[in-house]
Amino acid sequence: MRISSRTLLLCCSMMVFSHHAMSETADAQTTHPSSGTPKDKSSSPVARKPKRARATESSVLGPANPQAEEISVSAAGRHSDGTTNTTPGGGLMPRQTAPRSQSGVTRDFIAKQAPSGNISSMIANLPGVVYANQSPLGTAGDTITMRGMNQSQIGYLFEGAPLADPINYEPYTSMLIDTENLGSVTVSQGSPDLNAPLFNAVGGQITATALNPSHKYGGYLSAMGGTHSANKEFLRLDTGDIGQTGIRGYASFSHLSNNNWRGPGGLKRFHVDSKFVKEWGDDNSITAVFGFNRQEQTTWREPTAAQWKQYGTSFNYDRHYYPGNANYYKLNFGNLNSLDVVVPMHFTLAHNLTLNVTPYYVHQNGPSVGGENIPAEGGYYGTQQYGNLNQPYATNGQLTTVGVDPWNQKTGAVNTSLNWTAGNNTLSFGYWYSYTMHEELSTFSPVDFSGKAANSYGRYPITLPNGSILSGYNLNFVQQVNALYLADTLKLLDDKLTLSAGFRAVMVARQGTNDVPGADPYKVVGNYFEPLPQFAASYQITPHDQIYINGTTSFRAPESVEAYSQIFDPNSSHAVEQPGSLKSEYSIGEEIGYRHSGKLINFSISAFNMNLTNHQVTSSAYIPNTNMLISEPINVGGETSRGVQAELGLRPWHHFSPYVSAQYLHATMDNNVPVSATNAAGQSVIDYLPTAGRAMVAAPKVTASVGLSYDDNKQFFGNFDLRYIGSQWSTFMNDQRIPYYIVSDITLGYRFPHVPHLKGPKIQLNIINLGNNLYRSAPGSFASTARAQTGIYGNSVKAGAPVYLTGGNFAAFVSLSTGF
């Protein structure tokens, strides 16, 4: 545990409010889905009474009942796809009131993007957000940074629950929801909500919500086709209000497939979404959200700088197999399978007392598969050498296999908060409990001379004469999280001044074992306790102008099971990957900002400062001699990030809505990085490289986006957006980087009028990467230096070779959709 002077100051700020009467706390209107128009009660599962005492709109906590501000599937004045054409910036700048940097997107923008996208791709234009795709369809996973923090340092919430991997923190947003059902996304670039069930959000928070069910029976149907043999079919059925039960809901099914834009292989995805709402009495509701995903994707090879220069986009897995070819594409793919259940509940216990309870269950599993040649005889199981494996298809003493990683993870949790209202004060008390089990047993399956894995990819793995399964790691991991929070909000000066303070205590207990022979340590235990105070103040200068300041803290427990366990390989007599740093990452941040929400223009600007200790840079690395990528956390010590972000959006003016966002970021390393080195006697030692003061990796100084939307609200619509991403370092010594790049997308659409039995049929063309720019979109791994160096103590440090993600090329997709 660490407490700085700034942390103590935040604690004291919270205590100032303890003598006041208390009340319910919530940031009830951080994002309005249709700014400029009165909120239709039919768009909310909770129709709050106007005279009812409500939580402040500018709270340090965040939304206590996130369903209350979502968009319905259909409502008066909306198109069948949920668009309203009212949000400034063409859906990129909804009104915000939270006392922190915050941006968002609504259906006005989401519905006009390619239907194959995901939550992360929808926010690529927002200030400070760097979204690096590998596929023009947006199906290849999440690589995103905000203010130099990557996706594992950003908290992802869906319907109030953290559905990201709770150990590796990967959000896997392509699994969560179809974009046809996505209602809105809100981005908090600097800090998480105090009551959010997160313990990794040092870089901010991304909150997504699903559309609310319609009150009317009907549905929505769409079909998409385009380049790379892409196709998607989507069907949603709405029950409407079911009699007088107060229940309504919908269920949807989709299928998506495409070929990889570079190299052989492709993707197949099957997905189910469902949401049901039950309302009764005075502001009581129960919502049930269900999601199921099954997908398989051939992976891409990630080139080094030299390989990119030599091969460009031709650096891929091989289309054809020959004996011993572990780079055959059918041996390298990943499955992402998930089952999600979230049940947010809101109860009115008394006129000034409410209770929120959100239980959730998440099951995610693989496998991930990568080709590898292993010794047919004399290899290693952990540190034990094995004899003849007695397997067919061996060539020159080597056996081509698929390394199978059938990771399996289950999480059950509940997040609760009790909110008490009294006068101008709010008091909220909450508790979050989460339990996670993670199993990961790597296996090997032989490949025959035609390139087909014998016995169906790991179903019958290679076993040793003693009956043991040949494995590089056999991990069993258990995690328990307990978190308590207390917050108070006071409104003064006719509700113009809002003061909020809160305190959160998070306790994370982890225990992991590795049952591979020779694993040292066999068992690792990690326990973390962190005090996390927050303070915020905002003043409403006019009904349209607001200023705010805040001070926040957050932390992240070490990322990935690899931080706790060794990784072995049959080609090595010792571990090829050692446990990483077990120290937690801790951040303290401050912001000051101003925003204007006018009749025509929305504008916001903020300045921020953040200091981190034990900054864990997330890299990835191939297990030597394999195509299996593993997470590799690197503790680089302290970091300081300072900058300014701004955005401006106009409401529709003569049917046009422009949008501009930008950020300047100055992120530097505070410490010299320890590295492995070789002394004059040829011995391996630890030395340091002079990295203090150098720019942080994957933190471009300047990012910007420009957007222009057109919608006559009748027939024709379209938008254009352009993004500029500055150069990014991939080494801590700042001696290798990727250059800046610019990408642009365009949408053109037409709504058909007066088609019998159909509601709002439309045709839409999405063009991705309009200029067919071929570029490296982000570092896929990091190295201390790209050139041989001499450490501070005179020892020799070898050069490293970071790998890079390759951004998707030009693509065009046509979609037809309609309500009914």
pTM of the model: 0.90
Alpha-helical segments (H) within 468-526: none
Looking at every residue in the chain, the average pLDDT score rounds to 88
Q: Rounded to 5 degrees, what angle do the CA atoms 730, 736, 737 make?
A: 60
Sheet containing 182-188, strands listed edge to edge, beginning at the edge strand earlier in sequence: 103-105, 182-188, 205-210, 155-158
Q: Is the pLDDT of residue 72 over 80?
A: no
| Residues whose CB falls within 8 Å of the CB of residue 265, separated by 6 or more in sequence, listed in order | 259, 297, 298, 299, 317, 329, 330, 333
pLDDT in tens, 634-680: 889 999 999 999 999 999 999 999 999 999 999 999 999 999 899 99
Strands (E) located in 515-623 = 523-542, 545-556, 585-597, 601-613, 616-622
Q: 404: which strand partners?
A: 369, 443
14 has a pLDDT exceeding 70 = no
Cα 88–Cα 92–Cα 93 angle in degrees, nearest 5: 50
Buried b (16+ CB within 10 A) or exposed e, 418-430: bbbbeebbbbbbb
Task: Render pLDDT for 484-539 as a digit per residue (tens, 0 to 9).
Answer: 999 999 999 999 999 999 999 999 999 999 999 999 989 999 999 999 999 999 99
Residue of 501, 581, 532 lying closest to 198 (CA atoms): 532
Backbone angles phi, psi at 149, to 5 degrees: -95, 135
pLDDT at 478 over 70: yes
**Residue 123, amino acid:** I
DSSP letters for 561-584: GGGTS-B--TT-SS-SB-----PP
Q: Comparing C-alpha atoms, which of 358, 285, 351 is closest to residue 47?
A: 285
How does strand 155-158 pair with strand 205-210?
parallel
The pLDDT, as a whole number, for residue 61 is 59
Q: What is the pLDDT of residue 618?
A: 74
> Could you read off the pLDDT of 280-327 as tens digits, one per residue?
998 999 999 999 999 999 999 999 999 999 999 999 999 999 999 999
Please tell me the distance from the alpha carbon of residue 561 to that of residue 565, in angstroms, as a whole number: 6
* Cβ proximity of 198 and 192 under 8 Å: yes
Per-residue model confidence as pLDDT tens digits over 83-131:
999 999 999 999 999 999 999 999 999 999 999 999 999 999 999 999 9
How much of the chain, in percent, has pLDDT values that exceed 90? Answer: 78
Phi and psi at residue 187, to the nearest 5°: -115, 120
How big is the CA angle at 44 (ends 39 and 48), to the nearest 5 degrees? Answer: 80
Question: Where does residue 299 fall: left (phi above 0), alpha (psi -120 to 50 degrees), or beta otherwise?
Answer: beta
| C-alpha 145 chain-centroid distance | 9
Q: Is the pLDDT of residue 70 over 90?
A: no
Residue-range domain boundaries for the chain: 5-819
Q: Are 283 and 256 in contact (CB under 8 A)?
A: no
Per residue in 129-142, pLDDT (tens digit) is 999 989 999 887 67
Rg (CA), the chain: 26
pLDDT digits (tens, 9 = 90+) for 358-417: 999 999 998 999 999 999 999 999 999 999 999 989 989 999 999 999 899 999 999 999
Query: Which residues does 69 contact at the CB level (< 8 Å), separation at least 6?
Result: 28, 29, 30, 31, 32, 33, 44, 63, 184, 209
Query: In this structure, what are the phi and psi dihedrals at residue 173, rounded to the nearest 5 degrees?
Result: -65, -20
Phi, psi of 706 (to 5 degrees): -130, 135
Assigned fold of 5-819? Maltoporin; Chain A (2.40.170)
Name the β-bridge partners of 533.
503
The helix/strand/coil state of 241 is coil
Q: How far apart are CA 371 and CA 365, in angstroms?
A: 20
CA dist 535 to 22, 488, 502, 575, Å?
A: 16, 10, 7, 46
Q: Which of 550-559, 620-629, 729-738 has the lowest mean pLDDT?
A: 620-629
Closest by CA to 427, choosing from 17, 22, 13, is 22
